[in-house]
């Protein structure tokens, strides 16, 4: 039997799932060819859950319910796309610890009004020591069909400054050189702060993550 890589197998399964109607895409679209390793893991996990449901019933609604239990907050946000990256974080009124190069190159969202989803990763995404790696978080974003919207998240934290006191929250993205970056909203030493930087450190359980559904694309 011919050897085949996990990546190639995942793409074959994704194409088949689209053809069979397990995964819905817009007319004329095909399976993406530029998935990252983290996204491939997310696709694999999603397809596994879809196929499990398919064996039990004819509807993927149970998969939606399964994902929904990890959503801890939704918020409709006026994102103010005309703001510069600096202005986005200035609106938070938080003490800033910012890598300006990371901030200025951050991906920009689309749509003046969006629905922001805050989620907790699935327990199995963490390693035995309780750490969530950046690649594992990429996979969780893909599993939930969520992409970052930094402006929306910053503005939601600005409108609700107490939110990050009890729900420290993050968004993570990859820059043009393939490095993971993040914006973290929290309260440290009694002061509300926001950190924007590159990070390959990973995450512990208290953090929640946010973004918008992929229909609200990021540029």
Q: Contact 102/195 with Cβ under 8 angstroms?
A: no
- pLDDT > 50? residue 25: no
- pLDDT bin (cut points 50, 70, 90) of residue 205 is confident
Asked whether residue 53 carries a pLDDT value surpassing 60, the answer given is no
φ/ψ (deg, to 5) at 196? -130, 120
Distance CA 115, CA 32 (A): 25
What sign results for the dihedral spanned by CA atoms 182, 170, 118, 203? positive
Per-residue model confidence as pLDDT tens digits over 129-159: 999 999 999 999 999 999 999 999 999 999 9
Average pLDDT estimate for 56-83: 76
For helices 37-56 and 134-144, angle between their N-to-C axes, nearest 10 degrees: 40
pLDDT at 11 over 80: no
Mean pLDDT, range 77-97, rounded to an integer: 96
State the average pLDDT over residues 90-116. 96
């Amino acid at each position: 039997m011919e050897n085949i890589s996990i990546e190639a197998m995942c793409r074959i399964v994704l194409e088949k799932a689209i053809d069979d109607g397990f995964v819905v895409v817009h007319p004329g679209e095909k399976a993406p060819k530029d998935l990252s390793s983290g996204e491939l893991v997310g696709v694999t996990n999603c397809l596994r859950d879809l196929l499990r449901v398919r064996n039990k019933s004819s509807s993927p609604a149970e998969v939606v319910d399964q994902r929904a239990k990890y959503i801890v907050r939704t918020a409709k946000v006026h994102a103010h796309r005309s703001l510069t990256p600096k202005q986005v974080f200035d609106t938070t009124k938080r003490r800033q610890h910012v890598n300006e190069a990371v901030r200025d190159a951050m991906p920009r969202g689309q749509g003046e009004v969006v629905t922001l989803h805050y989620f907790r990763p699935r327990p199995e995404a963490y390693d035995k020591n309780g750490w969530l790696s950046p690649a594992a978080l990429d996979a969780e974003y893909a599993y939930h069909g969520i992409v970052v919207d930094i402006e929306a998240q910053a503005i939601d934290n600005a409108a609700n400054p107490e939110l990050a006191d009890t729900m420290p929250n993050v968004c993570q993205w990859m820059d043009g050189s393939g490095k993971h970056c993040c914006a973290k909203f929290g309260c440290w030493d009694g002061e509300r702060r926001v950190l924007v930087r590159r990070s390959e450190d990973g995450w512990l359980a208290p953090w929640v993550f946010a973004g918008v559904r992929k229909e609200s694309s990021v540029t």
